[in-house]
Structures are given as structure tokens and as C-alpha cells.
């Protein structure tokens, strides 16, 4: 496999140096692997911290900035960050209003963020935690017990970030984040496997004429493999899986997310099919986001996330945000 890298051992450090050069509004500690908005801590605001293995960009470092995350902690590729990273981040962003850890439901992330929360509280920092577990495809996987955390992470970080920017107290920001997670469901499809820099070859075998329904963002197995389907057929399978589980009663936010190697031409076509199926099911759409936001290196495929929203959640979603990976209203 050809990759635009120097050596596998420096991939994350090289990317962080590049992020720092492109975005001077961020403070990027390459050695300790912590990305912080330069104006942190912001007086009177809850600090939002997330993180996880690298390879899912722009998640999470690309979502650091006003209206979203205060800091992010990148691990090695598909590997959880360590507690010391979260502790550094918490110390950097805590204004005295406390910090919220947003944690995708993967075993390593959960254990390390739990440990970091204990360490931070020992240093006098108030910490709350929200677990993101939106994937409807499988209950348990290679990386986690329970449902995996995937595309809804973006909605949780964006909406909770807006709540923090409004000066809401920690308890309220936590409650908003939990509401978003509970109101969100996701389903992913792989058309090809991803290749990690360390391995340099596909991480699993997916024959050319087949696809995998229900994959995770590390290429974990899904519900089943099928012969290649049309975009419309894939949309019908994804929407059915999400809607049957979510049972939305309110309008929904729609995230049509690319896994890293699928061009926008295909993603917009897939989005058209998703809207067709949602209309057939009578599900109203409030807002739509199409693009590569929660990726899996060079995997071809897509994921669908729906989040049903009330007036407050929609207002917070529409609030200004200014990050490398997401910005509007500024």
C-alpha cells in the first residue's frame, strides 16, 4: 500500500505538527499529544474534552475550538490515549466550572478516561463523563462491551459545546450531552477495508464483489456480508436499521458520513437516497451534514447517523462553531 507518510512510527506526531502549522488558533503539544484551543481556559465555561485513537480525522482534534471541544487527546492509530493526556487537557481547560469528558464506548477509551477522571478529581477538578454508544449494528464487538460509539460523537460534541459556550453549568451540559446520545443512532457500511500505517495492508478481507453491513470505525465486523448493492438499496438497509431502533417522533439531524475514501460525488448521491427513504417513512429532516467527519483511515464506505431534536437541541446545533473540521455562523 502506498501512503503519504515518512515512517509508521511518526505518523501521529507528523500529523500533529501539520495541524499546528495549519491552525495557529490551536495549541498543539506534539510530545504529550494534547490539542487545546488557544484561548483556554475560558472564564465561566465548562471545558469539553474528548479523544481516541488517531485515524478518524477530523474527529477529535479537528473539532477543537469555540462552540465545540476545548481539548482533544489523540492516541496512536486506533489506540486509546492514556490518562496522563486527559489529565493535562483537563488542567489546561478547567476554568473552575468543571470539565466534561465525552467518551466513545470502546474498552480502552472507557478505562483510560475513567482513570483520568479520578486523577483530575484528586487535583480538585470537577469532572463529569458522557458515554457515546449510538451504533445499532451490534451489541458487542472486538473493541467494546455494548454498543459502539460512532457518528453521534459529532452531534454530542457540537451540541454540548454550544451549551458550554452559553455558560450552562456542568450538570446541565452533561444532561444535554446525554440527551443527544440517547436521541441518536448510527449504522455503517464498508465497501473496502482500511489499511493502518503499521500494517501497510488491509486490516480485514473483504472480497471485491461484497460489502459489510454494520461495521465499526475500526473495521470491526458488522451484521452481515452481502453481494454489492446499489446506493438506494444500501440506504434502505441503513435507514431501516436506524429508524427501527430510534423510532423518531421529532425531526432529525442527518449525518451522511464518509469513512475516508468515498468521494463526495458518491456521498451526495447516497444522501439523496437516504432522504428518499426517510420521506417514505414520514421522518422529517431538520438539518443535513454530508462529508468525511468520523473516518476510518482509507476505508471506502459510509455511515448514517440520525439524531431526533427538540427546539433547544436544534437551537444549540445551529449555534456558531469555529473549528478546523466544522464551522458555521462565524
pLDDT tens track for 281-326:
999 999 999 999 999 999 999 999 999 999 999 999 999 999 999 9
* Cell numbers for 95: 476554568
Q: Is the pLDDT of residue 144 over 70?
A: no
| Distance separating alpha carbons of residues 289 and 327, to the nearest angstrom | 12
Identify the bridge partners of residue 321 per DSSP, sorted by sequence position. 328
- Identify the residue with better confidence: 220 or 265: 265
Helix (H, G, I), strand (E, B) or coil at 136: coil
- With a threshold of 0.85, does the pTM exceed it? yes
60 is known as an active-site residue: no
218 is known as an active-site residue: yes
Q: Assign 201 a pLDDT band (cuts: 50, 70, 90).
A: confident
300 membership: H or E segment, kind and range: none
Q: Is the pLDDT of residue 64 over 70?
A: yes
Q: What is the CA radius of gyration of the chain?
A: 19
Q: Is 19 left (phi over 0), alpha (psi -120 to 50) or beta?
A: alpha
Is residue 81 within 8 Å of residue 52, measured between CB atoms? yes
Using CA atoms, how far residue 21 sits from 9, 24, 225, in Å, is 20, 6, 42
Set 23, 60, 218, 275: catalytic member: 218
Q: Which of 200, 257, 313 has the alpha carbon at shortest distance from 58?
A: 257
Place of cell 483510560: 112
Amino acid at each position: 500500500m502506498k501512503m503519504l507518510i515518512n515512517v509508521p512510527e511518526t505518523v501521529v506526531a507528523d500529523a500533529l505538527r501539520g495541524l499546528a502549522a495549519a491552525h495557529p488558533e490551536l495549541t498543539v503539544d506534539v510530545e504529550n499529544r494534547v490539542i487545546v484551543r488557544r484561548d483556554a481556559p475560558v472564564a465561566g465555561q465548562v471545558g469539553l474534552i474528548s479523544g481516541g485513537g488517531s485515524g478518524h480525522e477530523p474527529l477529535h482534534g479537528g473539532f477543537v475550538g469555540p462552540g465545540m471541544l476545548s481539548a482533544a487527546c489523540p492516541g496512536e492509530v486506533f489506540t486509546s490515549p492514556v490518562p496522563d493526556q486527559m489529565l493535562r487537557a483537563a488542567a489546561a481547560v478547567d476554568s473552575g466550572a468543571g470539565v466534561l469528558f465525552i467518551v466513545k464506548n470502546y474498552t480502552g477509551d472507557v478505562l483510560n478516561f475513567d482513570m483520568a477522571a479520578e486523577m483530575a478529581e484528586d487535583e480538585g477538578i470537577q469532572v463529569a463523563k458522557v458515554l457515546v454508544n449510538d451504533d445499532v449494528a451490534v451489541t458487542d464487538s472486538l473493541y467494546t462491551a455494548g454498543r459502539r460509539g460512532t457518528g453521534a460523537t459529532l452531534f454530542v460534541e457540537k451540541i454540548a459545546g454550544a451549551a458550554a459556550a452559553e455558560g450552562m453549568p456542568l450538570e446541565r451540559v452533561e444532561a444535554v450531552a446525554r440527551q443527544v446520545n440517547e436521541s441518536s443512532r448510527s449504522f455503517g457500511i464498508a465497501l473496502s477495508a482500511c489499511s493502518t500505517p503499521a500494517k501497510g495492508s488491509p486490516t480485514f478481507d473483504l472480497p471485491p464483489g461484497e460489502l459489510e453491513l454494520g461495521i465499526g470505525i475500526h473495521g470491526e465486523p458488522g451484521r452481515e456480508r452481502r453481494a454489492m448493492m446499489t446506493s438506494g438499496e444500501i440506504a434502505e438497509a441503513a435507514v431501516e436499521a436506524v429508524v427501527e431502533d430510534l423510532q423518531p417522533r421529532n425531526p432529525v439531524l442527518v449525518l451522511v458520513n464518509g469513512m475516508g475514501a468515498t468521494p463526495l460525488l458518491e456521498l451526495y448521491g447516497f444522501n439523496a437516497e437516504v432522504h428518499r427513504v426517510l420521506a417514505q417513512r414520514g421522518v422529517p429532516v431538520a438539518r443535513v451534514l454530508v462529508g468525511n467527519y468520523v473516518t476510518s483511515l482509507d476505508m471506502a464506505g459510509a455511515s448514517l447517523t440520525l439524531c431526533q431534536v427538540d427546539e433547544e437541541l436544534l437551537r444549540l446545533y445551529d449555534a456558531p462553531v469555529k473549528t478546523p473540521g466544522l464551522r458555521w455562523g462565524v
